[in-house]
Structure 1
Amino acid sequence: MAKIEVASDYGREARAVLFEGDCREILAQIPDGEMQLVVTSPPYNLGKPYERRVDLDKYLVQQAEVIRECVRTLKPSGSICWQVGNYVDKGEIVPLDTALYPIFKGLNLHLRNRIIWYFEHGLHCSRRFSGRYETILWFTKSDEYVFNLDEVRVPQKYAQKKYSKGPKLGQYSSNPLGKNPGDIWIIPNVKHNHIEKTIHPCQFPVELIERLVLALTNEGDWALDPFIGVATTAVAAILHDRRAAGTEIVHDYLGIGRNRVRLASEGRLRIRPMGRPIYDPNLSSGEQNLSAKVDAVTLRLFDSRALSYQPSSGEGDEKSL
């Protein structure tokens, strides 16, 4: 992959654009129907140093303004993915996805999935159960949208299982390309010991965005993140031959983001590979290695079967997913 230059203003010829300032300024530069994907994790209003705490009603008004502009930039076949957690006020939580849902529906978008991102680890609560997941609302602009399921299939649990009787006797009973990953995604969050960790307190793992980029865009398409932080969305896009645009108001984050994009374009950015097994502290190092080897064998089988796969005329119904 050739090194790319990171532009500071939007232009159709650019590969990556990272703009320092209010996201509404760069959104105004983007023509209607230009983006294939908008994916972001907006400030959650939880009182972190880089956020100005406002009340929930004002927060939703601000979000509505940005969402409206993002939708304007989407192609008819485009998708918008809004990743949020909970608003916490005096120990009581408000799930932000439910608060934001009416905004998207008011713009005539279609909710395709409410994805649960389960990250297993986090802060411990003393007066309620500890939060271990956040949500991704995936909306499309129309009923004719890009969805590349084969790009994000995961290995079957029983990849070698075959029919034991009937006309398909001896044939593999599962889809040789793998299975649909479903709407519960177990992906570690970026904590202090994560290989991708920077100074950002709420950093996306690259793997999370890679799955969305691969499924919802094609090569050469644009992915936009109006709250791009340290540019994880741009990294995921560049790694898979897409283009990326994003904005960030924190100067230090943007500097880190520019460097990460350059390193990604040169193949030198350290990231956690897609599909790597979750570390299990109950296993010894030898067992961890054995588990990784088993997964590698499964993936090789998965790949070899996929190479010879020819879809049947009935492929595509719910049972084959």
Structure 2
Amino acid sequence: MNWKLANGDVIDLLRKSKGEKYRLVISSPPYNIGKSYENDVKRSLEYYIVWQKDIADLIVDMIEDNGSLCWQVGNYVRSGELIPLDSIFLDIFRARGLKLRNRIIWKFNFGLNADRRFSGRYETLLWFTKSENYIFNLNDVRVPQLYPGKRHAPRKGADKAGKPSGNPLGKNPSDVWEFSAQKDFIDNPVWDIPNVKANHPEKTSHPCQFPIELAERCVLAFTGEGDNILDPFVGTGASVIAAVKHGRKALGFDKDNLYLSIAEERIRLLLEGNLPIRRLGTPVRRPSQTEKVSRIPDEWQSFSLGDSVDAAPQV
């Protein structure tokens, strides 16, 4: 079997795995916002940082010399103040010798609505490497060119004049990813992977589920077939699914047996060919103007921005 899941405290499990090496460590750690899968209650930010530093000390030693770390995070909110966690993790991992290659933006359409700040619709993924000698399989994650017939402008003496300006294998998806195979990659190149909400085919009971599609691109870009991958906060198994799907070996840790059971079932369904999964590179669906959800409700017809509305407060 080329995958394994383990239940327990993350630091204890990392210590037991000391000496093992991984080409890629990828995870979305708890954001410390009080979710049930975290610690049932919010830690102080200071305690959270110390805890994550202890984890980082163990993780960095487990990365192969030509390996990578992908750490996907959101924001911590304290007394209404938003603190981007990627700024904290940047310092944590750089202090341990890792080198930041990209700060990748993951954009999504749905989330909590706010009324005292703009509603957040993105999170970040930090890609670090252990050294200057690292794996980067760009050709495995290229996206289709929107204008394959575009050519370099004619310039006297220029070797490229009149020749196709794009790469025949596709376009580099950039550091702001949108999983649309055509227009959005060119006009608004964002990793627009739908977050896993009610109608998403991958939805489970986990409240902050990691999309398989996001993990897949990291697995393909930063590892080769047969490589070892570790996720210390595996949740419902997206990273392990991505690894197994593409011929890698994977180990996942989590303190919650319920989510590990879901992960195990999802991996079984994958191996049987029955796992509901959003295909890598599927364009983000936009509702047509004829759909009911796109039409302005009758109640809004006479409403203007200056009017007041009786509504439940939003955060």
Q: Under TM normalisation by the shorter chain, which class is it?
A: 0.7 to 0.9
What is the TM-score with the length of structure 1 in the denominator?
0.81
- Matches of 2:33 and 2:152 in 1, distance apart? 53
1:91 is aligned to 80
Between the aligned partners of 1:103 and 1:85, the Cα distance in structure 2 is: 16
Partner Cα separation in structure 2 for residue 95 and residue 238 of structure 1? 31
> Partner of 1:112 in structure 2?
101
Q: 1:179 aligns with which of 145, 161, 171?
A: 171
After the TM superposition, which residues 36-75 of structure 1 pair with which residues of structure 2 at under 5 Å, given as runs?
36-52=23-39, 53-75=42-64
- Residue 82 of structure 1 pairs with residue 71 of structure 2: yes
Q: Does 1:150 align with 2:156?
A: no
Which of 241, 247, 250 pairs up with 1:241? 247
Residues of 2 paired with 1:199 and 1:95: CA distance? 26
Task: Please say if residues 33 and 76 of structure 1, whose CA atoms lie closer than 8 Å, have aligned partners that are also in contact.
Answer: no
- Deviation per residue, 1:214-251 (Å, 9 max, x gap): 00000000111000000111000000000110111111
Q: Deviations over 1:87-130 (max 9, x none)?
A: 01121111111122211111011000111111122111011100
State the shift of 1:61 in Å: 0.6
Q: How many residues align?
A: 272
Indicate whether 1:199 and 2:205 are aligned: yes
SS at match of 2:34: coil
* Equivalent position to 1:159, from 148, 155, 159: 148
What is the identity, as a one-letter code, of the residue corresponding to 1:201? P
Coordinate RMSD, CA, aligned: 1.6
Aligned-pair CA distance for 1:284: 5.1
Alignment partners' CA distance in 2, 1:107 and 1:164 = 46
Contact kept, 8 Å, 1:35 with 1:74, in 2: the verdict is yes
Q: Which amino acid aligns with 1:198?
A: T
Structure 2 counterpart of 1:213: 219
Gaps of 5+ in 1: 1-13, 286-321
SS at match of 1:60: helix
TM-score, L = length of structure 2: 0.82
**1:244-297 CA-partner distances (Å, limit 9, x unpaired):** 101111111010000111111222211001111111123558xxxxxxxxxxxx
Q: 1:224 to 1:284 in 2, by over 3 A?
A: farther
Give, in angstroms, the shift of residue 179 of structure 1.
0.8
Q: Secondary structure at the match of 2:259?
A: helix
Distance 2:144 2:14 in 1: 39
Structure with the bigger percentage of helix:
1
After TM superposition, the structure 1 = structure 2 runs for residues 262-301 of structure 1, keeping only pairs within 5 Å, are 262-283=268-289
CA distance in structure 2 between the aligned counterparts of 1:51 and 1:208, rounded to whole angstroms:
21
In 1, Cα distance between equivalents of 2:61 and 2:162: 51
Deviations 1:290-317 (A, max 9, x none): xxxxxxxxxxxxxxxxxxxxxxxxxxxx
Offset of 1:22 from its aligned partner? 1.1
Distance in 1 of aligned mates of 2:226 and 2:204:
28
Q: 1:137 to 1:168 in 2, by over 3 A?
A: closer
Deviations 1:31-89 (A, max 9, x none): 43610000101111101122221100100110111111111111000101111111011
The whole-number CA distance in structure 1 between the counterparts of 2:275 and 2:238 is 11
Tell me which of 122, 125, 128 is aligned to 2:114: 125
In 2, Cα distance between equivalents of 1:265 and 1:96: 35
Q: Secondary structure at the match of 1:230?
A: coil
Matching of residues 220-239 of structure 1 within 5 Å: 220-239=226-245
Residue identity over aligned pairs, in percent, reads: 51
Contact 1:234–1:246 (8 Å) recurs in 2: yes
CA contact (8 A) 1:32 1:74 kept: no
Query: 1:102 aligns to what SS in structure 2?
Result: helix
In structure 2, the residue matched to 1:24 is: 11
Greater shift in the superposed pair: 260-269 or 104-113? 260-269
Task: Give the secondary-structure state (helix, strand or coil) at the position aligned to 1:114.
Answer: strand
